């Protein structure tokens, strides 16, 4: 059975989000309402294949509960993509995704991620090195945007004309637009037409501003997409992937208990301070929300500096 055969239509993916979609949060989402596929946060291959390795390995933690998980990689050296992909094949990952869309300045000034839209020879080398290491068994995909400074469907055409991608996830904005304008789903629809003529076996996933399953299903039907990826929607509702979310009926106690579970799992997972406690502050708005006194409790949580104190606040 191929990667494509194993997935429903449309299939749903929790988008990769750095410092958010780690193994811990993926397990929480899997318990609430699981998507069909998870992605890791983006992990730098050049760091992984150097002295920075130990620091990055926690980003590649994975448990059976989250599977199938695709590891998302970024970097500059095709050889490091090759070596890392060989390792991933042994680590239980369901595939490898190449980040060619992140618009963050510190990343693109070095020529990585979205900067590859303007460096197609290197983008091709990276895809080919990854494909070679993945062999026929590990699917290879790219996640990208619809252009760098302006809309550039030639980029999508270029990616599809490699004919070696199992999946292409398209965020319907240019890199320059960051997240400042609404995603353009008409452009994602155009990518489906390009796919049909250039690389019929490549799955197309749409991404940008979807907050729940029903909207995702409608967009998938309208634009004939194989899959839908939801990112920030999960901040508003950990049950974003369910047919009918119970989140808005959840009591304060239920929400705080889920946050406490998240914190306990985080401290169990990252012993020896492998990851910073402060990263958990991002989740305040997810769980401490939608009940009387939430703003005050969030302020109290933001001032804490340890998991022990955070748990005390949540149980007070």
Q: Is 5 exposed, middle or buried (0-12, 13-18, 19+ CB in 10 A)?
A: exposed
Token pair of 106 as six digits = 């510190």
177 binds ligand FMN (CB under 6 A): no
Token pair of 9 as six digits = 């239509």
146 binds ligand FMN (CB under 6 A): no
Distance between CA atoms of 153 and 283, rounded to whole angstroms? 36
Please, which residue, 4 or 211, has the CB nearer to ligand FMN? 211
102 binds ligand FMN (CB under 6 A): yes
Does the annotation count 102 as an active-site position? yes
Distance between CA atoms of 33 and 302, rounded to whole angstroms? 27
Please, which residue, 176 or 252, has the CB nearer to ligand FMN? 176
Q: Which residue among 10, 16, 75, 103 contacts ligand FMN (CB under 6 A)?
A: 16
Q: Which residue among 72, 174, 199, 212 contacts ligand FMN (CB under 6 A)?
A: 72
Annotated catalytic residue, options 32, 102, 113, 284 = 102
Query: Which SS3 state, helix, strand or coil, does residue 313 take?
Result: helix
Distance between CA atoms of 198 and 256, rounded to whole angstroms? 49
CA distances from 254 to 37, 174, 246, 249, 279 (A): 26, 39, 11, 10, 22
* Residues from 249 through 288 that contact ligand FMN (CB under 6 A): none
The candidate with the shortest Cα–Cα distance to 43, out of 52, 51, 31, 35, is: 52
Q: Interacting stretch for ligand FMN, rule CB under 6 A, among 17-25, 59-67, 260-268, 288-296?
A: 17-25
Please, which residue, 236 or 252, has the CB nearer to ligand FMN? 236
Q: Interacting stretch for ligand FMN, rule CB under 6 A, among 94-102, 195-203, 294-302, 306-314?
A: 94-102
Where do contacts with ligand FMN occur on this chain (CB under 6 A)?
Answer: 15-18, 20, 41-42, 72, 99, 101-102, 143, 171, 207-210, 230-233
């Amino acid at each position: 059975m191929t990667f494509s055969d194993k997935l429903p239509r449309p299939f749903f993916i929790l988008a990769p989000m750095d410092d958010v979609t780690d193994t811990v949060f993926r397990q929480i989402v899997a318990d609430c309402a699981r998507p069909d596929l998870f992605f890791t946060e983006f992990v730098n291959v050049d760091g992984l294949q150097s002295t920075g390795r130990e620091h990055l390995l926690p980003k590649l933690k994975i448990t059976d509960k989250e599977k199938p998980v695709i590891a998302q990689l970024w970097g500059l050296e095709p050889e490091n993509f090759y070596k890392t992909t060989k390792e991933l094949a042994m680590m239980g990952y369901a595939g490898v995704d190449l980040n060619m869309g992140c618009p963050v300045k510190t990343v693109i000034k070095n020529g990585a991620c979205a900067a590859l839209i303007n460096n197609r020879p290197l983008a091709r080398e990276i895809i080919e090195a990854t494909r070679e290491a993945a062999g026929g068994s590990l699917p290879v995909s790219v996640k990208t945007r619809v252009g760098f400074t302006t809309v550039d469907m030639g980029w999508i055409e270029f990616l599809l004309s490699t004919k070696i991608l199992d999946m292409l996830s398209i965020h319907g904005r240019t890199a320059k637009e960051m997240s400042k304008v609404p995603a353009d789903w008409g452009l994602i629809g155009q990518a489906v037409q390009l796919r049909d003529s250039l690389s019929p076996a490549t799955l197309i996933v749409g991404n940008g501003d979807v907050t729940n399953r029903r909207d995702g299903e409608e967009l998938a039907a309208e634009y004939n997409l194989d899959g839908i990826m939801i990112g920030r929607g999960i901040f508003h509702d950990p049950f974003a992937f369910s047919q009918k979310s119970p989140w808005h009926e959840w009591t304060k106690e239920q929400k705080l208990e889920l946050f406490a579970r998240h914190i306990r799992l985080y401290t169990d997972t990252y012993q020896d301070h492998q990851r910073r406690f402060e990263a958990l502050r991002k989740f305040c708005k997810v769980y401490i929300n939608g009940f009387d006194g939430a703003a005050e409790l969030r302020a109290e949580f933001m001032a804490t500096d340890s998991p022990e104190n955070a748990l005390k606040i949540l149980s007070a």
